[in-house]
Amino acid sequence: MELDELLKKFREYSSQDTTVLEYAWNYSNEAHQEQKRASGEKYFVHCAAVAEILVDFKMDLETVAAGLMHDVLEDTKIPHETFQKEFGDEIYALVAGVTKIETLKFSSRDEAQAENWRKMILATAKDIRVIVIKLADRLHNMRTLNFLTREKQLEISHETISLYAPLAQRLGIFHLKSELEDLSFKYLHPDEFQSLLAKVQLRYAMREKLLEDFRTELETHLAGAQVPHRVLARVKNLYSIYRKMLRQDKPFEEIQDALAVRVITDTVINCYALLGTVHSVFKPVAGSFTDYIAVPKMNLYQSLHTSVMAGTGEVIEIQIRTEEMHRTSEYGIAAHWRYKLGEKGADKHLDEKLNWLRQWMEWLQDLSSPREFIESFKTDLELDQIFIFTPKGEVKPLPVDATPIDFAYTIHTDIGNTCIGAKVNNKMVRLDQPLKSGDICEIVTRRNSAPKKDWLGTVKTAGARSHIRKYLREHGQPEE
């Protein structure tokens, strides 16, 4: 990518003055002048590619500039003070944050590495843009992994699929998460990857006409609703199909991989209007409807999901969302950053939307051992959620296998601390019983009751664990 091209793409969504971007491009190009990548091409090609990915995410000027220079502090002799003076505190902090991550390597077997990851996550919690730059950097490295040794390919792919892909998912950057997973899968299981790729392409070729016919029919009916919309086809990533095969212990041929389309419109009201039209024309599959607009996922994802029977008997999955929801589902938290610039459509609730992430980071800070930190980190990155109702009908999203104690702490710290029992669907249950989606849970409390040490081994969420620890600490009870 050339500078003119980068500036043109940036100006399409931002009115910020691009002088700093031009300076950062030339500065980074000069700083890396003597360096080459494993492929033999100039090192700066990588810096430009990272900046291009960030522009695709529509990130703000400071983030794109930091992307251009993300390796300057680590790989060149330019002193930190000089760089800070040259580009100011904000860009310096972003580049220094990424540099900090560069020196860390993840290995599930090594306690010290877990401690490094812990430090990295806590250091970047202050500015989530650091993680977004690191993800863009990792994506380009994965795209060019073929130039490295097999040993390096395995090490980097393992790290990517264990932590970077789930982190992208947790931040709601779904298309990046999918590409990171598929690239890792390609190197970790090359034979399975190639075999599955061939089968998916063949199946898609056979079903493409079917999907096209359904889209045409859908478009005809939606046009009658006179609601602005566009329809997109959706292809599942290979790794998610592979995981499904492992989970269900079935060959590819037996996997019910629903064909999927997305319908994108302008307002929430129109999402429900289009859903009504879809259900009046096509027979919905029982139990397939989920409303993530009324109850968004923790990473801000919103959409209506339903599955219907096409005239051919095939099941088609339909997702209905607004343009803004679509942008969030593609770019996640990254989609909200540019609104800080006071541009048209400024997002007044940005801090509120990012608050769950900051709070999560704080909870993780409270864990005693690095190993526990990594385990908890991974549990909280799992985006399979269950939805539990309070007796008043409020919905609380929780990770799979969460317990009534986890649920109690999502309502209020005091409810968690004084919890002595739980009724699920009007029956008393043990506090360590895993909850199921749709359960109505009522917490029984008693004044002067207190958390027990053994709860730490029962709860699934970092939040509950953090509150229990805090209570035990403040009341002089050692955890061990």
Q: What is the largest CA-CA distance in the chain?
A: 71
Instruction: Express each pLDDT in 257-297 by its tens digit.
Output: 667 899 999 999 999 999 999 999 999 999 889 999 988 87
Which residue stretches of 103-173 are H helix? 111-124, 129-143, 150-159, 165-170
Under CATH, which number does the domain 3-173 receive?
1.10.3210.10
Q: What percent of the chain has pLDDT over 70?
A: 82
Instruction: Express each pLDDT in 125-173 by its tens digit.
Output: 567 788 889 899 999 999 999 999 999 999 899 888 887 887 788 777 8
pTM listed for this prediction: 0.74
Confidence band for 344, pLDDT divided at 50, 70 and 90: very low
Residue 474: how many CB atoms within 10 A of its CB?
8
* Mean local confidence (pLDDT), 13-25: 93
Tell me, what DSSP letter sits at residue 42?
B
Q: Per mean pLDDT, which range of 46-60, 90-104, 275-289, 398-412 is the poorest? A: 90-104
Which pLDDT score is estimated for 340? 47
Token duo for residue 139:
């994506």
Instruction: Choose between 260 and 354: higher pLDDT.
Output: 260
Provide the sign of the torsion angle of the four alpha carbons 145, 151, 155, 158, taken in this order.
positive
Q: Which of 158, 121, 129, 42 is nearest to 331 (CA)?
A: 129
Residue 190: how many CB atoms within 10 A of its CB?
12
What is 49-84 written as a DSSP string? HHHHHHHHTT--HHHHHHHHTTTHHHHS---HHHHH
Which pLDDT score is estimated for 201? 86
Which pLDDT score is estimated for 333? 67
Q: At what angle do helices 190-225 and 174-188 cross, to 10 degrees?
A: 160
Q: Which of 158, 182, 168 is nearest to 134 (CA)?
A: 168
Which pLDDT score is estimated for 210? 83
Please state, rounded to an integer, the average pLDDT across all residues of the chain.
Answer: 84
Confidence band for 120, pLDDT divided at 50, 70 and 90: low
Alpha carbon distances (Å) from 167 to 239, 358, 438: 16, 14, 27
Q: Quick check: 342 pLDDT over 50?
A: no
Domain boundaries, the chain: 3-173, 190-331, 384-474
Instruction: Express each pLDDT in 367-395 by its tens digit.
Output: 666 666 666 666 665 556 777 888 888 88
Token duo for residue 227:
């609601």
Instruction: Express each pLDDT in 419-453 by its tens digit.
Output: 999 999 999 999 999 999 888 999 999 999 999 99
Alpha carbon distances (Å) from 78 to 83, 228, 334: 7, 53, 29
> What are the residue numbers of the active site?
74-75
Domain 384-474 has CATH 3.10.580.10: no
Q: Quick check: 349 pLDDT over 60?
A: no
Q: What percent of the chain has pLDDT over 90?
A: 46
Which pLDDT score is estimated for 247? 87
Q: Specify burial of residue 270 (Cβ count, 10 A radius: 0-12, 13-18, 19+).
A: middle
Which pLDDT score is estimated for 346? 43
Alpha carbon distances (Å) from 122 to 70, 96, 128, 389, 397: 19, 14, 10, 32, 24
* Mean local confidence (pLDDT), 2-20: 93
Instruction: Express each pLDDT in 56-96 by its tens digit.
Output: 988 889 999 999 999 999 888 899 999 999 999 999 999 98
Residue 228: how many CB atoms within 10 A of its CB?
12
Under CATH, which number does the domain 190-331 receive?
3.30.460.10
Which pLDDT score is estimated for 77? 87
